[in-house]
Chain A
């Protein structure tokens, strides 16, 4: 029974902790599919982690916090689209700028609003919602069906985005813009509008991941709390072969190493902890090397499109 509990607990942590990366990965997927290469997910998430806390703190509702976070993400997306689509600046540089902006902005706003005191700020946060019956399934029930609403939402987005991308006219238009914007243009697709839309919506999704991080996974804000998840999401999209299901699998695998390392560290094994902390990174490298070979990026990823 204790082994069952261990596995169930392991699975539950994996899903819980993979959620921010999944949100960010799905957001990046939509942006990438439109041919834009945004490495600024880390900065977008940082701003949203703080704004979720601020929104929740002042309104008393975590939902307002989420809304604030999503709006901040959409604005970051708009900024990115303006500079990359309209001004046609280098996308890597703009993405890097977003990361620096997000890091500085979130730290500064935090000190202005909450000061540098060490007292814990209390605010409304997400709680687990237990789904009746389903959560009683042995082994996986507790892991899958006793989670917070954003977790359910993120995993439900996977089939939804998959359907959108591969089964709808709008999804086909988006994919064709990412592959060859000129072709899409000659066939009457409004390339620029589609790129703006996907940058905004995608960044809003990335921000939702940030909001969940500070008002769900933990309930506090600390500077640089995203801790590289924005970059891991970038890798998850490549590893997931630019498909929603793949991104989900990649997020779960990347986080699994992390969770394993945590569990082993508290279990008191004689293995030195320095080796244990290597696990997620070794796992990531091995997984990328083994499976990422056939990853085919959208053909015009990162290249600005100029009409005429």
Chain B
């Protein structure tokens, strides 16, 4: 057995009030793709931030090729050959690719910035690992996939031998993910060691040689990926069996709660309509899924129904009320709940505590206090109850929303919206970026609401999710509905064709 490329021994990291890593051991061999699997908040990112010198471990040791190392800053870990590609890119959009790679580098050639030779070596690197990058392009003008390539090239340019990729696929389209995996395989062939951090089981299964599973800050174990099924990985990660199907009882749907008739929205400044003659009913006790590739009018539809966009034509009848003519306040106070697509920007106020986030829909109703004064005692009691019944992992109700993991943030939004006992739930990407445990939980909550007779309009780009929990599915393409199907009577192939702009009538 040769000496491990990287060894982390008994690493612990104590944050005020939270033990993020506890006695973690990690051994990575040279030239392997090693996955670090764990739920959101399991301590993956903390461990990697220790490895790249941003955090100092409370205790524990790090060895690189058998030599003990200590990192005082990111510079130290970089100089020893560790390159991290952060989940949120560490790039400056107003600078060019070259400039981004040169920041902070030790200049050998005197005062002048040597962009020419840097451009040359960047192009060589790009060619060697078949990554297509224009070194003089402005980073802000690149696509997300390209930015990630720049991050990888930047790490290589600075002499990385161990590449850490923190949730690299979270921001990528399926095509870009394939590109990335090709790149990772290429790097592996050239002898690089890759640490791949993810909570997506299929990806870990596909790309990694070995996998170390983290749960609640502890390393559960390291396994050969070949020997584990996706089911095994899920169980290791969550600590219990995870169901990939949902139990959903068949039930008779009630009368239409929401009824869209010819909803259209013009594009500002002309061009194709953003929404084109959308007609759709959502009944009590029914989940209607809206499928489609991102950007085909789903966001606009939700914004029209929640009163954020007010220029739509047509009619959206909700219990005798036309939602298209109502303000957001009127809509939200008439038994409609909204789980917005971006929990951090529109779902929560990040720098506010959970208590205040929980009452964003209620503070004006008199439910928590009278005459414009808030009764913090009853707000606190209600918050405690929600945290308990939705099993939100937080140090307390006064914790700021921004300090929670993504899954728990989403649970806060879902708790707030479901607690209002809605007749209609409009949910957009309710599980985006969440791990299997949290996804299972949120699906369960939506189905529970449906079983209790609520109508649910679910917008998602994840075909799996749509097929799994919807009772009926409408596929949107360029602002139009291509067809409405039942999950049991359709195939993924048919859905794909509709998402690509083929009318249901023409393909069946």
Contacts and interface: CB of A to CB of B under 8 A. Distances in A.
Interface stretch (A180-188, A203-211, A266-274): A180-188
A180 B94 CA distance: 10
Interface in A267-307: 296, 299
A308 B104 contact: no
A176 interface: yes
Contact of A188 (B54, B84, B92, B104): B104
Contacts of A185: 73-74
A187 B102 CA distance: 9
Interface residues of A, number: 22
A167 B102 CA distance: 12
Contacts, number: 65
A173 interface: yes
B118 to A, nearest CB: 11
Contacts of B74: 185-188
A176 B103 CA distance: 7
Contacts of B319: none
B103 A184 contact: yes
A299 B90 CA distance: 13
Contact of B103 (A167, A187, A299): A187
A173 B111 CA distance: 13
Contact of B95 (A167, A168, A170, A176): A176
Contact of A183 (B54, B90, B113): B90
A79 interface: no
Main DSSP-derived SS at the B contact region: loop
B103 A189 contact: yes
A182 B86 CA distance: 12
Given A188-B104, A189-B103, A189-B104, A183 B91 contact: yes
A186 B90 CA distance: 8
Contacts of A183: 90-92, 103
B90 A168 contact: no
Contact of A179 (B54, B75, B95, B107): B95
B75 A188 contact: yes
Contact of A168 (B54, B75, B94, B112): B112
Interface string A156-191: 000000000001111111011001101111111100
A184 B55 CA distance: 16
A168 B111 contact: yes
Given A173-B103, A183-B92, A299-B94, 4 more contacts: A169-B111, A183-B90, A187-B74, A188-B75
16 contacts: A169-B105, A169-B107, A172-B95, A172-B99, A172-B102, A182-B90, A183-B90, A184-B103, A186-B74, A187-B75, A187-B90, A187-B103, A188-B75, A296-B94, A308-B54, A308-B55
Interface of B: 52, 54-55, 73-75, 78, 84, 86, 90-92, 94-95, 99, 102-105, 107, 111-113, 158
